[in-house]
Structure 1
Amino acid sequence: MVYEKFKKEVEGILEDKAKPVTWNEIRDSSTRLKQKVPYHVYVHKLQGDIGLVRFRHKHEKRVVWALRRWFEEGKFSELLPDRMQLTILSVKNDRAIAVDGFWELKRVYPLKIGLQRWDVVSAEVEEFFPEEDRRPGSIKLKRDGMEYLRSIDTDEKRIRIAEKIAESGEFLHTDAWKGKTLGLTKPRFRCFYFYDTRCQFFCDQNVCVGHDMDVEEGGEDIEIRGDRVYFVLEPVEREHGEFIWGKSRVEWRMTSVISLTDPLQQRLL
């Protein structure tokens, strides 16, 4: 099924149900949706296109699908979980980019002082949809409700996490990803070059003729230690707080760089 038909079907069923429901309930309500598990790329696109929200039901402990505007209208907030587990990928001051239990990137704040990349925390949520940061993927936490659990301490484990959330570079080439405000991708065949405060690289798309974007954390001073490299990306913010993700063409910047050494490659040397 092509994406536009998938979007129309899912959105229509959610509108008809008018409440959070599981994927199985959505599929059973349709004569067209046959997938046991929905294609993850389509799910990510729906987050921007229709404001899809997925979360674990606070009382029933099942994953449900909903529309963001329902919560903005004051509905169903009692179903949202009180806490979430996060693995931190990038830290700047009291803000972080982390991955949640659905292997989705989230922008979280304020972060407890002292936490760093690869720390795993259990955090109490203050606002799932904060008014002060309305970008999809932003979540406000309670600073005093954060508990350090452990750290991901080996590159082998870190690579497994990065590979689960690494995306195709498609979102860098198309306007279909409306509302997407976070991404993690990797360069093709280590084709990248840092200079000044920018980076040039090729993504995995056949149509890619190269990207050249700002780097937030150091540019040419970034040290690449390992053979696995991942880029954490966010849309550029314009003056007066206007984000280009709200426009038809998104301009991306590199928030941070993750460099890891694959132990399998080391054993082959």
Structure 2
Amino acid sequence: MVYEKFRHEVERILEEKAKPVTWNEIKESSTKLKQKAPYHVYVQKLQGDIGLVRFKSGNKTVWALRNWFEDGKFTELLPEKVRLTILSAKRDHAIAANEYWELKRVYPVKNEIYRWDVIEAEVEEFFPKEEKRPESLRLKEDGMRYSRTIEDEEERIRIAEKVAESGEFLHTDAWKGKTLGLTKPRFRCFYFYDGRCQFFCDQSVCVGHDMEVEEQGESTEIKGDRVYFILEAAERAQGEFIWEKKRIEWYITSVISLTDPRQRRLL
């Protein structure tokens, strides 16, 4: 099933149900959705396209529409805590992966945290009123608890691969509202110079990207054979985000470099 048909069917069913439902309930209400599990890239697109929100309600993962919560509906169903794996720690916020391997911009960050820390955090606002970017999550200032640090390189690679996305979002405006992304440069085709980076993504149409690099204390040193770029949509003066326009501009906010221990190397 092509994405447009998938989007239309999921949106239709959610609007008809008018309440959070599971993927199985969505499938049972459709004669077109046959796949056991939805294609991950399609789900990622739905977050911006229709405002899809997924979360745990009891022991089940439910699908809902963001505008329901913005209208004050079903807020009692939202979880009070989230589990996050930190992928980038900045001065006042962090970029993390949730349990669905979706990127989240979490703030405020008062505790000292580092990349690959796993934390449990109490949520202040799932949809902050002052922060309209869809991936943003406001945490309670004193509600963050350290759980563990992921030390194993293979586990780190597994997580990065689950979060990593196709570079399609760099070439099309179909990913509406998207302001965070994690992608891999093609065949280590990248070059850092003067606070910028040139690289090729995995799209066959790609003729190269040239982006600003924002380090904020994080090193961009490449130590391993697996490289991932965390990207953010740029912001203009007066808080206007370029993603609100038709043409989106991205910059590299963090670089992850890992060494695959299974990779054979010449001695």
- Given the two structures, how large is their TM-score scaled by the length of structure 2? 0.96
Number of the residue aligned with 2:238: 240
Do structure 1's residue 211 and structure 2's residue 203 form an aligned pair? no
Deviation digits for residues 130-151 of structure 1, max 9, x if unmatched? 0111111100001211110000
- Code of the aligned partner of 2:214: E
Within-5 A mapping of 1:153-172: 153-172=151-170
Cα deviation for residue 113 of structure 1 reads 2.4
| Structure 2 spans left out of the alignment, 5+ residues | none
Number of the residue aligned with 1:6: 6
Identity %: 74
- Code of the aligned partner of 1:52: L
Cα deviation for residue 222 of structure 1 reads 2.7
Cα deviation for residue 154 of structure 1 reads 2.4
Number of the residue aligned with 1:260: 258
Cα deviation for residue 227 of structure 1 reads 0.9
- Code of the aligned partner of 1:185: T
- Code of the aligned partner of 1:17: K
Cα deviation for residue 112 of structure 1 reads 3.2
Deviation digits for residues 50-70 of structure 1, max 9, x if unmatched? 10100001xx32000000000
Within-5 A mapping of 1:43-82: 43-57=43-57, 60-82=58-80
Number of the residue aligned with 2:21: 21
The answer to whether the 8 Å contact 1:197/1:218 transfers is no
Aligned length: 266
User: Partners in 2 of 1:68 and 1:78 — Cα distance?
Assistant: 14
Cα deviation for residue 267 of structure 1 reads 5.8
Cα deviation for residue 204 of structure 1 reads 0.7
User: Partners in 2 of 1:5 and 1:242 — Cα distance?
Assistant: 32
Cα deviation for residue 246 of structure 1 reads 1.3
- The alpha-carbon distance between structure 1 residues 76 and 268, as it changes in their structure 2 partners (threshold 3 A), is farther
SS at the partner of 1:64? strand
Number of the residue aligned with 2:124: 126
User: Partners in 1 of 2:236 and 2:256 — Cα distance?
Assistant: 26
- Code of the aligned partner of 1:10: V
Number of the residue aligned with 1:39: 39
User: Partners in 2 of 1:112 and 1:255 — Cα distance?
Assistant: 20
Within-5 A mapping of 1:98-109: 98-109=96-107
The answer to whether the 8 Å contact 2:91/2:216 transfers is no
Cα deviation for residue 249 of structure 1 reads 1.8
Within-5 A mapping of 1:87-236: 87-217=85-215, 222-236=220-234
RMSD, aligned CA: 1.4
